């Protein structure tokens, strides 16, 4: 399974606390960014920590990022490479019309891109890909970031998500996420 919905009891509180953390100068601008010392910062947000403890994943978080997509913007189709495989994405408002799309690449043609922060990803052209799954991002969800994917905002407003990245090389974390996915 590449995607599964995650029910968080305290979602509304998480949304209201997390939206406050975003620097004002980042709002309204297309970006995917990590705040400095993000592990420490986000561990201090009790509602978020409680949700991760409830999922038994508090010890496996390796990074917290924000994704901000203004209307009609999307990420390139890509695969995240390296130590982050699973992501828990939490929409910070519940507004329909933003979609996670998963693909297969049928001819294997990819471009390797290295970002200024050292992270590497594989970029895919849409003509090399077949769409296999589409999910509206109105609920929190786990998904496998090693599958070619994009997030596309087809709504009329900015879409903001918190991306919680888990360590794929830790079998315990992988096991917990797989168990969760099988129950759904
Ligand atoms: Fe990604």
Distance 85 CA to ligand 1 centre (A): 9
Read off the pLDDT of each residue in 121-128 and give the average, rounded to a whole number: 94
Read off the pLDDT of each residue in 132-136 and give the average, rounded to a whole number: 97
At 117, the pLDDT band (50, 70, 90 cuts) reads: low
Q: What is the pLDDT of residue 110?
A: 92
Q: How far apart are CA 75 and CA 29, in angstroms?
A: 13
Q: How far apart are CA 52 and CA 69, in angstroms?
A: 25
Distance 9 CA to ligand 1 centre (A): 26
Q: Out of 17-26, 36-45, 156-165, which region has the weakest mean confidence (pLDDT)?
A: 36-45
pLDDT in tens, 165-177: 987 667 777 788 8
Mean pLDDT computed over every residue of the chain:
91
Distance 63 CA to ligand 1 centre (A): 13
Give the length of the chain: 184
Confidence check: pLDDT of 58 > 70: yes
Q: What domains lie within the chain, and their CATH numbers?
A: 3-183 (2.60.120.10)
Which residue in 96, 92, 107, 94 sits closest to 148, CA to CA? 107
Q: What is the pLDDT of residue 115?
A: 74
User: Which residues place a Cβ less than 5 A from the ion ligand 1?
Assistant: 80, 145
């Amino acid at each position: 399974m590449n995607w599964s919905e995650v029910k968080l009891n305290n979602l509304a509180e998480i949304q209201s606390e997390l939206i406050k953390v975003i620097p004002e100068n980042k709002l309204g601008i297309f970006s995917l960014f990590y705040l400095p010392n993000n592990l420490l910062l986000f561990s201090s947000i009790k509602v978020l920590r409680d949700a991760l403890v409830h999922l038994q994943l508090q010890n496996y978080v390796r990074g917290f990022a924000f994704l901000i997509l203004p209307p009609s913007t999307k990420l390139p189709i890509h695969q995240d490479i390296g130590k982050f495989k699973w992501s828990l994405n939490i929409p910070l408002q519940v507004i329909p019309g933003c979609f996670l799309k998963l693909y297969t690449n049928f001819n294997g043609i990819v471009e390797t891109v290295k970002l200024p922060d050292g992270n590497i990803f594989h970029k895919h052209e849409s003509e090399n890909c077949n769409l296999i799954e589409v999910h509206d991002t109105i609920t929190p969800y786990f998904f496998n970031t090693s599958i070619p994917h994009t997030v596309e905002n087809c709504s009329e407003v900015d879409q903001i998500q918190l991306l919680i990245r888990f360590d794929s090389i830790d079998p315990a974390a992988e096991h917990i996420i797989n168990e969760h996915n099988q129950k759904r």
